């Protein structure tokens, strides 16, 4: 089987598994994403990946990353299930320059060292 078809098959399986976990039906997902049932059926039947905007809407509605739906791998930068404090820290780090990041890393290492000495 062509590798791209394998990805599409597992994409739809992952969506189905997540819907079961959430105790939701496909009709719920279609309402959330604005996708017509006939469009979904066509994508699935012909093993087509939804357009990027629709695939992202599917992932967001399910609380998953698009990377996970396509490949089964979770991104290390997926902070959706993280505390608001960590998300805030990440956003502040993203705005820092290289010198500021090095200073933060030094502080983090110092805090870690202090914690292990206790």
Please report, to the nearest 10 degrees, the dihedral formed by the alpha carbons of residues 66, 63, 57, 61 taken in order: 150
Q: Where are the domains of the chain?
A: 3-71, 84-117
Fold of 3-71: 434 Repressor (Amino-terminal Domain) (1.10.260)
Q: State residue 79's pLDDT score.
A: 57
Average pLDDT over residues 22-40: 96
Nearest to residue 89, comparing CAs of 75, 81, 79? 79
Q: Extract the tokens encoding 58.
A: 């599917």
Q: State residue 1's pLDDT score.
A: 46
C-alpha span between 49 and 2 (Å, rounded): 14
* 11 neighbors 49 (Cβ within 8 angstroms): yes
C-alpha span between 78 and 1 (Å, rounded): 31
Nearest to residue 78, comparing CAs of 100, 101, 62? 62
Average pLDDT over residues 107-118: 79
Average pLDDT over residues 2-27: 79
């Amino acid at each position: 089987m062509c590798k791209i078809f394998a990805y599409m098959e597992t994409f739809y399986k992952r969506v189905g598994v997540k819907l079961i976990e959430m105790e939701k039906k496909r009709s719920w997902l279609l309402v959330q994403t604005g996708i017509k049932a006939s469009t979904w059926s066509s994508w699935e039947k012909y093993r087509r990946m939804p357009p990027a905007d629709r695939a992202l809407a599917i992932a967001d509605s399910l609380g998953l990353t698009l990377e996970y739906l396509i490949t089964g791998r979770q991104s290390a930068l997926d902070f959706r299930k993280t505390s608001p404090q960590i998300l805030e820290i990440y956003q502040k780090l993203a705005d820092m320059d290289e010198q500021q990041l090095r200073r933060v890393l030094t502080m983090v290492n110092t805090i870690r060292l202090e914690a292990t000495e206790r």
